[in-house]
């Protein structure tokens, strides 16, 4: 694999990496190209973080328009150098977590589906994933590099130690594919962990998307904050608990079932039964 001399590129512009932003830049051309190829197929791409712009440039070769949200303004000289001539690219310098996704997409892509691409900072991966899920109707897929441990959690099965709220929410909204792992020596500087590239295929016409997602997210967070307790304890009043027990029994499950034992679809159906279909009558 061909190495890009990231240090020389940054040094030429007197740029130093910002450790507080968790910057670890890929230097292997083949891996960067593999990410771009897996992302390709659509018209529009939204990139989370540009890094030194090598992936950005490859995306510009595969999409009609690419918009990048980059938090580090000090990278501007490097990016202007690397992205020179990429007329189909728009750079937005701001924090992705504070970005109004709906407005960004409306302003730059209209109502066409958008592909998300990014090498996510390890410390905020979960928050970025949740932000994407909350706007899932805007995206067709996402190709993301995350810490391998994060990929393990996103794809975890019920009743395992690493099955988390983010596992449920992501699996409810997306079909998840693990593409390949990336070892520390492929980065500058080298992190202390192995990374994984994953693909999220966003499901459409979900019952609990848009305005209903926040309530579902709060419910799942409550369930997993007390993961060793019985699922019915996550409900606030007797009516909710009665409906939850009825639903569990109808599904052939005990009222002593724990939330961590159920998959995303079962938990979503339970939430929908208790909180969304409020007029459904319980009868024996």
Q: If you write DSSP's letter for every residue of 58-111 in order, what string do you get?
A: HHHTTSSEEEEEES-GGGHHHHHHHTTT-TTEEEEES-GGG--HHHHHHHHHTT
Whether 209 is in a domain gets the answer no
Whether 250 is in a domain gets the answer yes
Residues 176 and 111 in one domain: yes
Whether 184 is in a domain gets the answer yes
Residues 134 and 270 in one domain: no
Residues 43 and 180 in one domain: yes
Please write the tens of the pLDDT for every residue from 177-219: 999 999 999 998 899 999 999 999 999 989 998 889 999 999 9
Residues 37 and 162 in one domain: yes
Q: Is the pLDDT of residue 115 over 70?
A: yes
Residues 144 and 229 in one domain: no
pLDDT at res. 1: 55
Q: Is the pLDDT of residue 170 over 70?
A: yes
Whether 271 is in a domain gets the answer yes
Are the C-beta atoms of residues 69 and 99 closer than 8 Å to each other? yes
Residues 118 and 252 in one domain: no
pLDDT band at 150 (very low <50, low <70, confident <90, very high): very high
Q: State the CATH number of the domain containing residue 244.
A: 1.10.8
Please write the tens of the pLDDT for every residue from 14-71: 877 766 667 889 999 999 999 999 999 999 999 999 999 999 999 999 999 999 999 9
Please write the tens of the pLDDT for every residue from 88-111: 999 999 999 999 999 999 999 998
Residues 37 and 123 in one domain: yes
**What percentage of residues in the chain have a pLDDT greater than 90?**
81
Residues 270 and 160 in one domain: no
Please write the tens of the pLDDT for every residue from 266-277: 999 999 999 988
The number of folded domains in the chain is 2
Last residue of a domain, one of 137, 168, 202: 202
pLDDT band at 124 (very low <50, low <70, confident <90, very high): very high
pLDDT band at 284 (very low <50, low <70, confident <90, very high): very low
Tell me the mean pLDDT in the region 226-248: 92
- The 10 Å CB-count burial string (b at 16+, else e) for 162-192 is ebbbbbbbbbbbbebeebeebeeebbbeebe
Which of 143-147, 154-158, 185-189 has the lowest average pLDDT?
185-189
Structural domain of residue 241, as residue ranges?
225-276
Residues 173 and 263 in one domain: no
pLDDT band at 4 (very low <50, low <70, confident <90, very high): confident
Whether 208 is in a domain gets the answer no
Q: State the CATH number of the domain containing residue 132.
A: 3.40.50.150
Whether 149 is in a domain gets the answer yes
Question: Which helix or strand (DSSP H or E) is residue 205 part of?
Answer: none
Residues 167 and 263 in one domain: no
Residues 49 and 152 in one domain: yes
Please write the tens of the pLDDT for every residue from 25-34: 999 999 999 9
Whether 233 is in a domain gets the answer yes
- CA–CA separation, 146 vs 33, rounded Å? 17
């Amino acid at each position: 694999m061909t190495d890009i001399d990231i240090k020389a590129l940054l040094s030429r512009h007197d740029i130093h990496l910002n450790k507080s932003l968790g910057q670890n830049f890929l230097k292997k051309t083949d891996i960067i190209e593999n990410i771009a190829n897996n992302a390709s197929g659509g018209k529009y791409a939204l990139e989370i973080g540009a890094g030194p712009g090598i992936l950005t440039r490859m995306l510009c070769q595969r999409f009609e328009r690419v918009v990048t949200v980059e938090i580090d303004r000090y990278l501007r000289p490097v990016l202007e150098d690397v992205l020179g001539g990429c007329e189909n690219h728009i750079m937005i310098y701001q924090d992705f977590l504070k970005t109004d996704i709906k407005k960004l997409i409306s302003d730059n892509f209209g109502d066409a589906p958008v592909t998300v691409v990014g090498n996510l900072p390890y410390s905020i991966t979960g928050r970025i994933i949740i932000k994407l899920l909350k706007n899932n109707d805007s995206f067709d897929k996402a190709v993301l590099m995350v810490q391998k441990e994060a990929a393990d959690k996103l794809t975890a099965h019920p009743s395992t130690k690493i099955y988390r709220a983010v596992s449920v929410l992501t699996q409810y909204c997306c079909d998840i594919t693990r593409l390949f792992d990336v070892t520390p020596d492929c980065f500058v500087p080298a992190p202390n962990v192995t990374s994984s590239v994953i693909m999220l295929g966003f499901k459409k016409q979900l019952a609990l998307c848009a305005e209903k997602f926040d309530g579902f997210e709060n419910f799942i967070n409550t369930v997993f904050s007390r993961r060793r307790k019985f699922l019915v304890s996550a409900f606030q009043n007797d009516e909710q608990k009665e409906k939850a027990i009825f639903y569990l029994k109808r599904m052939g499950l005990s009222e002593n079932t724990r939330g961590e034992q159920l998959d995303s679809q079962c938990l979503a159906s339970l939430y929908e039964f208790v909180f969304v279909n409020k007029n459904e009558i319980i009868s024996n």
